[in-house]
Structure 1
């Protein structure tokens, strides 16, 4: 084989491989898009989330105090378990 023939076969193989990958990725994107559209169409609408509890007034700090107590207890327990 001559060098030019070898180079032509290499380029042809490269073009075939790149074309195959391009076609595969195009088919993959199209199929994913179609499946997404199908799922959106067939999936039920999400239910509206009801608030779990009424919002507390802005001046009420009991929630913040309770949260600080819980965080402090968790931090204390973590530091006891992970001493150096």
Structure 2
């Protein structure tokens, strides 16, 4: 075979392979959409109403104070663990 024939055959095989991949991925997209539609139709997601809080919202200052305390305790514990090793 001449180099031109080899190049032509290589390009043909490349296009054929890319065509199969394109067709397969296109079919995969449609199959996924079809399965999604079937699942949503026959197995709908049940909506559960959110429970209302019995107490009012926590003020931001109280959240910040508690968060700072938790972070400080975690840092102290971390430092204690890592200074004992040295």
The residue that corresponds to 2:71 in the other structure is 71
The residue that corresponds to 2:22 in the other structure is 22
Distance 1:70 1:53 in 2: 25
1:13 Cα deviation after fit: 0.4
Q: Helix, strand or coil: the match of 2:67? A: helix
* 18-27 or 68-77: bigger deviation: 68-77
For structure 2, the residue ranges without an aligned partner over 5 or more in a row are: none
1:1-84 equivalent positions in 2, closer than 5 A: 1-41=1-41, 42-56=43-57, 58=59, 61-83=61-83
Distance 1:68 1:33 in 2: 47
Distance 1:75 1:52 in 2: 32
Higher helix share: 2
Over aligned residue pairs, what C-alpha RMSD do you find? 2.6
Distance 1:82 1:51 in 2: 43
For structure 1, the residue ranges without an aligned partner over 5 or more in a row are: none
Q: Cα 1:54–1:4, aligned 2, differ >3 Å: closer, same or farther?
A: same
Distance 2:82 2:54 in 1: 36
TM-score (norm 1): 0.70
